[in-house]
Structure 1
Amino acid sequence: METFKLGELFCGPGGIACGALRAKSDDGSFTIEHAWANDYDADTCETYRKNICPESPETVHCGDVRGLDIQKLGKITAFCYGFPCNSFSNVGKHQGFENEKFGQLYWYGIEVLKAYQPKWFVAENVSGIRSAGSGDFEIILNDMHEAGYKLNVHLYKAEEYGVPQTRHRVIIVGIHKDESVKYRVPDPAVYAKCDVTARTALSNIPKNAPNNEVRKLADKVVRRLSYINPGENVWQAEERLGEDFPSELRIHTKTKISQIHRKLDPNKPAYTVTAAGGGGTFMYHWTDRELTNRERARIQTFPDDYEFVGNYSSVRKQIGMAVPCKLSEVVITAVLNSFAGIDYPWIKANLEEDE
């Protein structure tokens, strides 16, 4: 039996770690334990400490990664990082490496790979990373390859893997070149019977679950929501109702963002939980109210006893930035099965891999 020691950069509130610690190979021969983690946000780090490593809070290094002494973090045999996606999101300007503040933070993960040569790593980012900048994605992959890793790159659709949310993310799995191990993308057909509807995801939340307070909305917002059908946003409601949609409730903006006052459809997966955004982008229940943070956490597949630290807006941001725990568990279980030599169901047509 082998237990991989996991290090993380940009760890967020622990979505990857929560899934990783639940993962194990089908024969039980490979598991994972936390070694160290880093994030720059104080509330986020406290959330991680409280839920992932309460007995060793000192292993979470809170601060800007650019001031982190990577050489002193400690030996690891596995590594995960969801490097900041601000430069690569389709919602943004696709600045890529031209964005000096965020565009090159991926490099600190490369430094970790070079310093500790873990047996495997997982890196996650938004789907837009593939087309950001001028060949930026190819540069990232080349740097990972030169650090000593065989790569498997795939666009994962979370709703196909038991996550009640249409969240599409590029995940890169790297296996050290010295390991005679080949990772395959797990077949989503295994999860075809999972109920990923929002109705099921948000049902039976315990009354004492943390972070479940309902935020009071302005009367005008409640009135606006009353005209919007489940699954619609405000623009679709206006188009459907025409002159019957009250003029004082209309929103006059140049850009029509699809998530503005958009309600969940109870019979479909939720739309993507996000961290950023202003008024009207906070996700709305089909019963004319904003989602609670616990409901957002449910959509991100955090367990009900996972307690987030911070005020309402801080917690909302943490949840939106996280990797869904279930998706992390699926991918990392496949990694562990690969090391165990277990032939799990995988996608035969995945061509985005480095031989």
Structure 2
Amino acid sequence: MIFRKGELFNGPGGFAWGAKNARVEANGMTYAVEHTWSNDYCDSACDTYTHNICPDKPESVHRGDVRLLNLEELGEIDAFIYGFPCNDFSIVGEKKGFDGTYGPLYSYGIRVLKHYQPKWFIAENVGGLQSANEGKAFLQILSEMNEAGYKLTPHLYNFADYGVPQTRQRILIIGFRKDLNMEFRVPAPTHGPNRPHPYKTAYDAIMEPPILENAYNNDMPKHKPKVIEFLKAIPAGQNAWYDGIPEDLRLNVKGAKMSQIYRRLEKNTPSYTVTGSGGGGTHMYHWEEPRALTNRERARLQTFPDEFYFHGTKEKVRQQVGMAVPPEGARIIIEAVLKTYAGVEYDSIKPKWDVEQMLEQKIDSLFL
């Protein structure tokens, strides 16, 4: 059975690559996902997505602002995926929630659900969504998804627990159409202490196997001599505020000191979160060599294969890599969705949130 997939805010195609490689064999059938249409406002991301996901169907990637898109004419779908913009829900920044420019964009996904009524959907956002607008934003989004006709399973995932060599926490909301009488169960973590597999480390990702010199998007960064000396004074796992940095090299910064500024990786643990933007000192730094990571090294930490080519300037590529969902994490979640649909059992854990209880509390609050 092939599920026709629509996608909003497609980015470079992390979720789409995971979907493209997800397969479940059961009941004498193959359950898989097929790209049908997608949308993003970033030209470079659309170029990357088209190149890697649907090179034979460039017209199926709709470029431009979702607010100007005719959602009702995109084509019938059975599955829907959208990582709605997280800028206003992030724990870093002003956390405007629904009051920001990007917060309300989740509603376009709700419109897709109501119009096409796909069998299942996956929505993704940062962990900060749970506290945006004092928790009201998260509850409102869940309420609207429920009213669109879906049984929901939201959970806070750490992708490192599923074999991604990076500590990356994201909220995923998986919904099955209510008339299907199916309930998604959160797949049990597979990596970490007392689990079947150890965590995958930054070293595993970047060095095994080594990246070829002519690999895509692997241009080495260029640093000023003072930055190189500064990095040499920072041990693996430490950052710009390490006490052992000589006085003449220290940063003159007052106020908040972000832990990820000039933070060097520890090679024997998963990396810290790959991000898509930020100024000097936020590019992620090698544990041994005094330099920032290349975009290909960041892509390795995100589990993109080396043949996955990113279009755009170095900064645009960095943005795409950092904003993407790790393809390997996406594949694992989508295969759990396919197993749910096929009726295949798998190890699971209790989700972080009880949606029915949350929605009941919302209804009760209206009468207080």
Q: Which residue of 1 aligns with 2:122?
A: 122
Spell out, residue by residue over 1:62-93, the C-alpha distance to the aligned partner (whole angstroms, 9 max, x if none).
10000000011100000000000011111122
Secondary structure of 2:187 counterpart? coil
CA 53–338 in structure 1, closer or farther in 2 if over 3 Å, else same? same
Secondary structure of 2:179 counterpart? coil
Which amino acid in 1 is paired with 2:18?
A: G
Q: Which residue of 1 aligns with 2:219?
A: 213
Report how many residues are paired.
347
Q: Which residue of 2 aligns with 1:200?
A: 204
Spell out, residue by residue over 1:29-63, the C-alpha distance to the aligned partner (whole angstroms, 9 max, x if none).
21000000100000000000000000000000010
Q: Given that residues 110 and 144 in structure 1 are in contact (C-alpha distance below 8 angstroms), is that contact kept between their aligned partners in structure 2?
A: yes
Secondary structure of 2:311 counterpart? coil
- Partners of 1:201 and 1:174 in 2: how far apart? 32
Spell out, residue by residue over 1:207-228, the C-alpha distance to the aligned partner (whole angstroms, 9 max, x if none).
3320011011111111100000
Q: Which residue of 2 aligns with 1:188?
A: 189
Which amino acid in 2 is paired with 1:346?
A: S
Spell out, residue by residue over 1:310-339, the C-alpha distance to the aligned partner (whole angstroms, 9 max, x if none).
110010000000001011111110000001
* Runs of 4+ with deviation above 2 angstroms: 26-29, 189-192, 246-251, 349-355
- Partners of 2:249 and 2:221 in 1: how far apart? 23
Q: Given that residues 151 and 353 in structure 1 are in contact (C-alpha distance below 8 angstroms), is that contact kept between their aligned partners in structure 2?
A: no
Q: Given that residues 39 and 65 in structure 1 are in contact (C-alpha distance below 8 angstroms), is that contact kept between their aligned partners in structure 2?
A: yes
CA shift for structure 1 position 248 = 3.7
Q: Given that residues 308 and 315 in structure 1 are in contact (C-alpha distance below 8 angstroms), is that contact kept between their aligned partners in structure 2?
A: yes
Which amino acid in 1 is paired with 2:214?
A: N
**Structure 2 stretches of 5 or more lacking a match?**
357-368
Correspondence 1:123-162 to 2 at 5 A: 123-134=123-134, 135-162=136-163
Return the match for 1:297 from 296, 299, 316. Answer: 299
- Partners of 2:304 and 2:95 in 1: how far apart? 30
CA shift for structure 1 position 26 = 4.1
Secondary structure of 2:90 counterpart? coil
Q: Which residue of 2 aligns with 1:107?
A: 107
Q: Given that residues 163 and 190 in structure 2 are in contact (C-alpha distance below 8 angstroms), is that contact kept between their aligned partners in structure 1?
A: no
Q: Given that residues 26 and 342 in structure 1 are in contact (C-alpha distance below 8 angstroms), is that contact kept between their aligned partners in structure 2?
A: no
Correspondence 1:1-355 to 2 at 5 A: 2-27=1-26, 29-99=30-100, 101-134=101-134, 135-189=136-190, 192-203=196-207, 204-235=210-241, 237=242, 239=243, 241=244, 245-286=246-287, 287-347=289-349, 349-350=350-351, 352-354=353-355
Q: Given that residues 154 and 171 in structure 1 are in contact (C-alpha distance below 8 angstroms), is that contact kept between their aligned partners in structure 2?
A: yes
Q: Given that residues 83 and 125 in structure 2 are in contact (C-alpha distance below 8 angstroms), is that contact kept between their aligned partners in structure 1?
A: yes
Spell out, residue by residue over 1:287-323, the C-alpha distance to the aligned partner (whole angstroms, 9 max, x if none).
1111000000000001110000011001000000000
Secondary structure of 1:8 counterpart? strand
CA 247–192 in structure 1, closer or farther in 2 if over 3 Å, else same? farther
CA shift for structure 1 position 20 = 0.8
Spell out, residue by residue over 1:255-303, the C-alpha distance to the aligned partner (whole angstroms, 9 max, x if none).
2011100000001101000012111000010111110000000000011
CA 221–53 in structure 1, closer or farther in 2 if over 3 Å, else same? same
CA shift for structure 1 position 354 = 3.9
CA shift for structure 1 position 194 = 4.7
**Structure 1 stretches of 5 or more lacking a match?**
none
- Partners of 1:97 and 1:341 in 2: how far apart? 37
Which amino acid in 2 is paired with 1:85?
A: C
Which amino acid in 2 is paired with 1:186?
A: P
CA 248–228 in structure 1, closer or farther in 2 if over 3 Å, else same? closer
Secondary structure of 1:19 counterpart? helix
Which amino acid in 1 is paired with 2:279?
A: G
CA shift for structure 1 position 206 = 2.6
Q: Given that residues 97 and 133 in structure 1 are in contact (C-alpha distance below 8 angstroms), is that contact kept between their aligned partners in structure 2?
A: yes
- Partners of 2:117 and 2:143 in 1: how far apart? 16
Q: Given that residues 220 and 249 in structure 1 are in contact (C-alpha distance below 8 angstroms), is that contact kept between their aligned partners in structure 2?
A: no
- Partners of 2:190 and 2:10 in 1: how far apart? 29
- Partners of 1:262 and 1:93 in 2: how far apart? 23
CA shift for structure 1 position 179 = 0.8
> Once superposed, what is the RMSD of the aligned Cα atoms?
1.3
